[in-house]
Amino acid sequence: MHTAPPAFRIDTATGLVSPARQVPSPNQDERPLGVMPDLIVIHNISLPPGEFGGPWIDQLFTNALPAAAHPFFATIEQLRVSTHLLVRRDGTVVQYVPLARRAWHAGVSSYLGREKCNDFSIGIELEGTDDSAFAPAQYATLSRLIVALCAAYPRLSPAHLTGHSDIAPGRKTDPGPYFDWPRLRAMVRAARQRSMGAA
């Protein structure tokens, strides 16, 4: 008999997600006074480009990426970026920034006329690329994460879920054409129904 994975738990006092591997990033700061997250932004990342696994994403977000380890790394090792959460190919989650704090994931961006999306968003990276399919385990984890985030933060809603390319058009392309938005939205609806039924 298949056993459903445990629901994600979010401690709103600390902004930490469980279960998630914690890898604190220095690339974070306070959100503007009184601002709580009301947008979820989906990204993709792979290091080196097109390759999965390894320590490189952790190292990028902790300013420890070794420039000599790969030619591409020399072009990005000076970046100071982060995200709140990463969903790896196997569906496991890594957290770099507490949810109540501002991660540096969106850059120059605008959502429905509001600029500086880092101020009011939660960034979720998927280990993947613009030109390949994401893993089923990633959709399963992401849908459960979204439901947990919306339950923990009243201003969040699955209606306010967007891609990096949508808030920074012409500058960013992720999560890319292979990201299946209808699949994710259907899974979020199903996960919400399950969570309400269990309540």
Domain ranges of the chain: 9-198
List average pLDDT for each run of 10 residues in the chain, which is 199 residues long: 71 97 98 96 98 97 97 96 98 98 98 97 98 98 97 95 98 98 97 77
Domain covering 9-198: architecture: 3-Layer(aba) Sandwich (3.40)
**Res 1: pLDDT:** 42
The half-sphere exposure of 39 on its side-chain side, counting CA atoms within 13 A, is 24
**Res 2: pLDDT:** 45
Known catalytic residues?
125
The Cα 103–Cα 192 span in angstroms is 26
Instruction: Of 119, 124, 107, give the one whose Cα is nearest residue 169.
Output: 107
The Cα 15–Cα 67 span in angstroms is 32
Q: Please report the sign of the dihedral spanned by the C-alpha atoms of residue 25, residue 28, residue 30, residue 32.
A: negative
Query: Which runs of E-coded beta strand occur in 12-170?
Result: 16-18, 21-22, 28-30, 39-45, 85-87, 93-95, 101-103, 110-111, 114-115, 121-127, 161-163
